[in-house]
Amino acid sequence: MSTQHASLKESNFEDATKFHPERWLKPDAEDYHAFASIPFGHGARKCLGQNMAETMMSLLAIRVLQKYKLEYHYGDVNPTRSFIARPDRPIKIRFIDQI
Ligand code: HEM
């Protein structure tokens, strides 16, 4: 099963195709199916860079949010189903200096 398919299964997530980041706020990891989200794959051939990628993405998010408030005012964006998941159009985000 593709990683994207797992994330979009209605049996794993209500309104699976909608962008609801709050869905990840459940208090216990056991509230989610173990394979509901496997962006780095699973098993012997899973991504070797997972720890590095997660660390870099966390640091990037922290550094950006320390410096800027982000705003988005440009309507819904949908995912494409191509080789990699990406937005169906350019995303315009306004970076507002926190200082
Ligand atoms: C957001 C970032 C990344 C995502 C979502 C991602 C995702 C994936 C996925 C889905 C696979 C295939 C797993 C499978 O076949 O089951 C993979 C393989 C792999 N990734 Fe990543 N990856 C990311 C970043 C990185 C980075 C930063 C590195 C190295 C520094 C890396 C190195 C590798 C390698 C070497 C494999 C092949 C593993 C194998 O075939 O044994 N990846 N990655």
- How far apart, in whole angstroms, are the C-alpha atoms of residue 19 and residue 76? 9
Amino acid at 26: K
Q: Are 58 and 36 within one domain?
A: no
- Which tens digit of pLDDT belongs to each residue from 16-69? 888 788 998 999 988 888 888 888 999 999 999 999 999 999 999 999 999 999
User: pTM for this structure?
Assistant: 0.83
53 is written with which tokens? 């990628």
Rounded alpha-carbon distances, angstroms, from residue 85 to 2, 41, 62, 78, 99: 11, 14, 23, 10, 34
Mutate to test the pocket of ligand 1, among 3, 4, 40 (most ligand atoms within 8 A of CB): 40
User: Of 7, 31, 3, nearest to 17 (Cα)?
Assistant: 7
Q: For residue 40, give its domain range.
A: 1-47
ipTM for the complex shown: 0.97
Q: Are 35 and 77 within one domain?
A: no
CA of 45, closest atom in ligand 1? 41
Q: How many residues does the chain have?
A: 99
Q: Are 7 and 42 within one domain?
A: yes
